[in-house]
Amino acid sequence: MTISPEPTPAIEALDLVRTYRTHTGVIRRRPLNVEAVKGVSFQVRPGELFGLLGPNGAGKTTTIKMLITLLLPTSGTARVMGHDVVNETTEVRKRIGYVFGGDRGLYDRVSALDNLRYFAELYGVDPGEQKQRIAALLDLVGLTGRENEKVEGYSRGMRQRLHVARGLLHDPEVVFLDEPSIGLDPVGARELRGTIRDMVDAGKTVLLTTHYMFEADALCDRIAVINDGRIVALGTGADLKGAVANRTIVEIETFGVAPEAVDALRADPEVIAVNMEERDQSQILLVQSERGTHITPRLLSRLGETRVGKVVGREPTLEDAYVHLIATTSETDGTAARAAAVSV
């Protein structure tokens, strides 16, 4: 029986590191090394929808910029469709589309059509096909009929759609989306997710960065959680949930809980972790423990005099896994606990 060879990864990152040199202070400028990405490795299969999930400042944008050749890695290597991002920039650029979110990035003073025409020339799209291709993409993103308006009059949602159309002009094999749903209303965000799924259905590989956990969960085949410049978890949504699957979450609403009381909770032998969410007048303590332990009465007694409101016991969600991951890997002293990376 022949064993089919592993397909070449569409995206391959190996120990990517990126350090910035900046300065602190105004009068006495001291050089400062900021490590934005501290050794990121992962592989994306062709046709996969891969998510890079992490809080702001985690290193997502820096990582994506290295992969799309806009930034040189300080060390490490990366390949896109088999081409090295440092030495074979033209080959990489031919095969990738780059979509980013936000208000800027389009030529406001001309029409959407002109924007697309210009980028069609930049990508060298065959002149005979340009008109059809542009029309088809405008239709795909729902901008048909509005393409002759100047972009300066476009809403945020329309701009994002135009960004997507621009990224697909030359039919790239790999599409990179950097926080595309920033500032979009829920309807716009849902439409965008539909478009992203269409891309994958059409056989493209997609790498998406986001800080919206539910977006990553809803869309991605696999998710890499990145925090503080490192990947702290890698796997499908189910795998990540699996890390917390055999746990119970007890949500305790408190009013003005003292730090000593929270420490007292943590000290309990059957408590795995306590994360706290601040609300206006109250705090929600999320207590993780092994499933099946009826520890609620013990928790309440450990809280002592603290005023307590609602108490709910529930199943863990991906959000709990994510919050826990970020909380435990945000220590910057290098001894951060790392959740077991689940390889596929």
Partner 1 sequence: MTAAAEALRQPTSAQPGSLRANLRLFWLGGLISYRALFNWARPSIYIPTLIGAPTFQILFFAALGSYATGIDAEFFAIGNAVQVSAMSGIYGMTMAIANERWFGTLHALLATPASRWAIFGGRFIPFIANGLLVSVYGFAISWIFLGVELRAEALGVVALGLLATVFSCSAIGAVQGGLSMRLRDGLFGANLLVFLFLLFCGVNIPLEVLPGWMQAVSQVLPFTHGLQAVRAAVDGAGLDQVGGLIAIEFGIGAFYAVLAFGLFSFLERSARQNATLDVR
Q: Return the C-alpha torsion angle 32, 36, 38, 43, nearest 10.
A: -160
Q: How far is the CB of 64 from partner 1 (least distance, A)?
A: 11
Closer residue to partner 1 in complex, CB, 99/252: 99
- Residue 19 token pair: 């350090």
Q: What does DSSP assign to residue 342?
A: P
User: Distance between CA 126 and CA 137 in Å, rounded?
Assistant: 15
Angle between helix axes 127-141 and 156-168 (nearest 10 degrees) is 140
User: Distance between CA 186 and CA 176 in Å, rounded?
Assistant: 21
Closer residue to partner 1 in complex, CB, 164/257: 164
Closer residue to partner 1 in complex, CB, 194/304: 194
Closer residue to partner 1 in complex, CB, 143/257: 143
Q: How far is the CB of 296 from partner 1 (least distance, A)?
A: 48
Q: How far is the CB of 4 from partner 1 (least distance, A)?
A: 23
Closer residue to partner 1 in complex, CB, 171/319: 171
Q: How far is the CB of 112 from partner 1 (least distance, A)?
A: 12
**Residues 6+ positions from 127 with CB-CB distance below 8 Å:** none
User: Distance between CA 16 and CA 83 in Å, rounded?
Assistant: 16
User: Distance between CA 263 and CA 279 in Å, rounded?
Assistant: 19
Closer residue to partner 1 in complex, CB, 10/68: 68
Q: Do the beta carbons of residue 10 and residue 49 sit within 8 Å?
A: no
Q: Do the beta carbons of residue 251 and residue 265 sit within 8 Å?
A: no
Closer residue to partner 1 in complex, CB, 120/249: 120
Residue 81 phi/psi, 5° resolution?
50, 40
Q: How far is the CB of 173 from partner 1 (least distance, A)?
A: 10
Q: How far is the CB of 27 from partner 1 (least distance, A)?
A: 20
Q: Regarding beta strands 11-24 and 75-80, do their DSSP bridges make them parallel or antiparallel, or are they unpaired?
A: antiparallel
Q: How far is the CB of 6 from partner 1 (least distance, A)?
A: 25
In the complex, which residues of this chain contact partner 1 (CB under 8 A)? 20-21, 65, 68-72, 89-91, 93-94, 96, 98, 100, 102, 104-110, 114-115, 117-119, 121-127, 129, 133, 136, 139-140, 166, 168-171, 194-195, 198-199, 201-204
